[in-house]
Amino acid sequence: MEYFVQKGSIVRTIWGSGDTALLVFAGSSAEFALNKAVDWLYFTGVLPADPLGRLFSTVAYAQKIVFAGCDDAHRAIDNITAIHRGVEASRGYSIPDEAYLDVLFMLIDYSIRSFELLERRLTETEKEEVFDVFRRVGARMELKDLPRNYGDWVVMRTQYLSENLIYSHFSQDLYRRYRKSLGALRYTLLLQSQVLLLPLQVRALLPLPTAPLLPPLVKLYKYARALRLDRLIKRVLLPRKYQEQIARLDISDR
């Protein structure tokens, strides 16, 4: 079978890890809240009703594409496109291309940042590989003005962070809903993980803690993983409502 992402790719390593996928979720939750087009996600009512579930579904869809055969991956991407076209028809005008590109860009960025936080620095070739996977997703969606390579993406990413993010009443509302869904302790963990993950431009827009508390805990968690205690820790720390979804985030590279 021809896979959308070939076996042995660093992208399968990144997205096969539930830990990395959860960090992608943590970073994306911040940018979803700040995106100038977040009103589109409010239009359907899905995001405000269950913000964590909506973000988990985004991460799960990305995983599905990464590990699928080419035909199945293309069908999944086409389904995403069809869903959004339906929302556009209901609302009466188009979702701006910038909103789609922002989501692709954050998946690229937090794939790299999350893996490097938990594992090691990626090589430039590996970063190019991460970029190429999501560029192909964008190309299948027929998005315009996609960057040609990782270097072009770095330039565009910086531009997008400067131009397309704003702290609005939607941002405030989403973070209030995150806190309600997570509870005080888990919400604090989310904010602390965002302090470590987010680009400076994103952190500057959010009322995040000024003192990072997680670096020593990240080291302890790495030791816990070596002792195979990580699943127990996640069961204790993460919301019970999403335990099944969280467990499915660990995927062996088959």
pLDDT tens sequence across 66-98: 999 999 999 999 998 898 788 777 777 777 778
Ranges of each domain in the chain: 10-247
- Its pTM stands at 0.88
Give the pLDDT mean for 164-174: 92
Confidence (pLDDT) at 44: 64
Q: How many Å apart are CA 104 and CA 66, to the nearest integer?
A: 13
Give the residue carrying structure tokens 């660093």. Answer: 10
pLDDT tens sequence across 24-45: 988 988 998 998 877 766 766 6
Q: How many Å apart are CA 216 and CA 24, to the nearest integer?
A: 20
**CA torsion sign, 191 to 192 to 198 to 204?**
positive
Q: Give me Rg for the CA atoms of the chain.
A: 18
pLDDT tens sequence across 93-148: 777 778 889 889 999 999 999 999 999 999 999 999 999 999 999 999 999 889 99
- Give the number of other Cβ atoms within 10 Å of residue 101's Cβ: 21
